[in-house]
Chain A
């Protein structure tokens, strides 16, 4: 069997596993092991999701959440990558930044929501600032460490080739650290998404996906709440697949550095 067919088969098994989980969920609720008041039937949830998908509010909520998430992720990850590469190539920047960023990273991002609420006010800007900060703090250490290793490995060659500092960053450090930086960005994307949802529940007012889940739960319309949660899983999966694809392309581009040698 070819590699492509094997991959297709594995992907189909993965989808079947999701179907299996839904089937078990359906059975568990139908036979009464779990009360439908606590856990609605998946068929009901899917039906609600289909109905919600026809409403403008559903797409407005998703548009708002994804808009805040994309802005926060782009700004936070951009800052984290820039700081990471700076700390990676400069021992001085590393010494100066590490204690501060290590300290900030130890603070759970959700704890910053009350502070953001007081400083900025409720709404998307506060959520975006906290999510962006979380994103930057998660992408920084992995990028900095990868850049440090890359700089140490290739500094000698760069010196011999009389590479300027920008050329050293562009041709040696950045490509050498790219795979690890992308892996860190992947984690930071997930963290930023989670922080956005939590923020919408805590200080987001009445719009956004997080606020919608909270609203439906409070009104005991669990099927709609679960429909949003299932959609969150789907969006998270798409984000993950996009990053997996970019990382894979990057690894192929990087010639899968540690492949077996041909003699």
Chain B
């Protein structure tokens, strides 16, 4: 199980690693308001990162590894990502008010973010073979994003953002747990 987790993170690092540090720096520099908005956006990205490429999940099943361990690996990664990101942003949140001249970096940051997010989404969704599942996930992200933007205009209450993000996390986990009972990854549909 840890072999899979280790390799997945190493692979993600290979893919996205060089973006991470410059992005974080820019994030800090871009300012508190934008930062709040981005915070939840990235939490979702972190969750999405964990959902992985379905194809690879299928491939793990061909390996001599207990299916239960594969399922647990995914859930553990989900929790790790969320926790690390939440902690990270909590820390950054303390640093942000100390920086001046934020607006300059605002646009650059958002550009990088959109590109990063597209990368991630593409990797995940390209691996999905079930059309219904694809649509479901895209819808889920869209709804959560809309909810966050909505709350953003209602007030700057960070607790609310945390709540939404964690509701999202729990939804995803319950879908995955439900899947634990059956280890069918791809239900082949015959025409």
Partners in one complex: no
Interface set of B (CB-CB < 8 Å, partner A): none
Interface set of A (CB-CB < 8 Å, partner B): none
